[in-house]
Structure 1
Amino acid sequence: MEAVLGVIALFMIVAVSVGTFLLVKAARAVQRGVERTSVQARRVVEETTLKAKRVQPGPAGQLAALRLELRTSMVDTRHALESGIPADPSLTEALALLERLRAHAHALDDELRLLEREPDRTRLAARLPELRERTGRVTHSADSLRWAAQDRARQFDDDDLAALGRQIEVEAGALRHWVPTDLSEGEGAGPGQVPGSGQVPGAGWISGAEKRGKLR
C-alpha cells in the first residue's frame, strides 16, 4: 500500500513539475511576442516621425533625413543577408560584420537624436557636414555588404542557368539526332523485314538517347 501511495505521489509531483514548466515556457513565449510587437510598433512610430521631420527646412530636417537614411540602409542590409543565408551560408560572416557596424550606427543615431534638441542652430549647422560624412561612411559600408550579397546571388543564378542551358541544348540535339542501326546483311528478307532492304520496319533507326547509352 505504501508503495502505491509513493508511486501516486511521485506521479503527482512529476505532473505538477511538467505543468509548471509548460506554463513558464508559454508565458515566456508570450512575453517575447509582446516585446517583438512593441519594438516593431515603436520602430514604425519613429520612422513615421522621422519622415515627417525630414520635410522640415533647416538643420532639424537634415538630421531627420540622416537618421532615416541610416536606419533604412541597416535594416535593408540585414534583411538581405538574413534571407540569403539559407541558400548561401557564407553570408553568415557578412552578417557578423554588419553586427559590428550596427554598434557604430546605433551610436551615431543616438548622437543625431540628441542633436535634434540642440537649441543652438548655428552650432548644429556647423556640425552637419561632419555628421553627414560619418553617416555616409556607415551607410556605404552597409550598402556594400548588401550589394555584394545581391551580386553573389545573381552570379550563382547566372551560372546555374548557363549550365542548365548547356544540358538542355545537349538533350535537344540528342532528341533530334537519329542514326541508322547496323543490321546484318542477308540476301533474302527475313520475317518482318522489308524486302531488299534488310531492315525491320520501325527498327532501322535508334534515338539519340539510345546512342548515348551505347557510347557509354
Structure 2
Amino acid sequence: MNQQAEPVGPSEWTHRDEVGVGPWRGPWPTGEHYDPDLLEHGDRRNVVDAYRYWRREAIVADVDTRRHPFHVAIENFQHDHNIGTVVRTANAFAAAAVHIVGRRRWNRRGAMVTDRYQHLYHHAEVAGLADYAATHRLTIVAVDNTPGALPIETAELPRDCVLLFGQEGPGLSEDAQRAAALRVSISQFGTTRSLNAGVAAGIVMHGWIRAHADLSTAW
C-alpha cells in the first residue's frame, strides 16, 4: 500500500537576547535573502554566522543545494523525548530529511528550533517509510543492538540511505527490522544494554559523514 509522506511544519522560535547579534550597524546589505526585520532588530537565532540576518526560507534553500543524500528516521510510538535531539543532529550534518514513523506529535524542545531548517516527514506506519525509500531508491539501514547486526565500526553504510532508529529500551519494531536491507549495531564495552537514542543517532550519522561527506564543505 502506497502512503504519501506528509510534510510536518516547524515549531515556533523563542527569542533569546543573550545569543546572536544585534541590529545591523551602518548601511544595510542588499539581497533578497536578507530579512529586514532581523537587520533592524538583531538576529538572535541559533544559526552559523554565514546565515546571520538571512530569511529562514533563504537559509533552507541554500542548505538544500548541499544536503547529504542520507535520511534519518525514528519510530515514535512512546513520545520519545530523544527525537528533538535526533533532529538537531540531523540538521548539523545536513541530512536530506528526517522521518517520524508512528505518532505524529513529538517533543520539539530538544531540537533547539533546528526543525525550522530541516525537512520533516511523517509516516503513520513503517510501510509508508518503506514506500518512500523504494520510490527514492534509498537503502533502509536499521540501527539496533540485535543478534545478527553488523558492527557499525566495520559495516559499509550506503551513500543513499535511510538510517532508521528505534527508542531506547524497546528498540525497533519487528516491522522496522523487516523493512531494513541492512542492520547495524554500535559496539559497547560497559554494563548498559542500550545507548540513548539521541547519542546512538549522532554516532551513526557521523559514521556516514566519515565515509561519504566532502569535509571541505563543512563550516
Higher strand share: 2
TM-score of the two chains, using structure 2 as the length reference: 0.22
Higher helix share: 1
TM-score of the two chains, using structure 1 as the length reference: 0.22
Which structure is richer in relative contact order (CA contacts within 8 A, separation 6 or more)?
Answer: 2
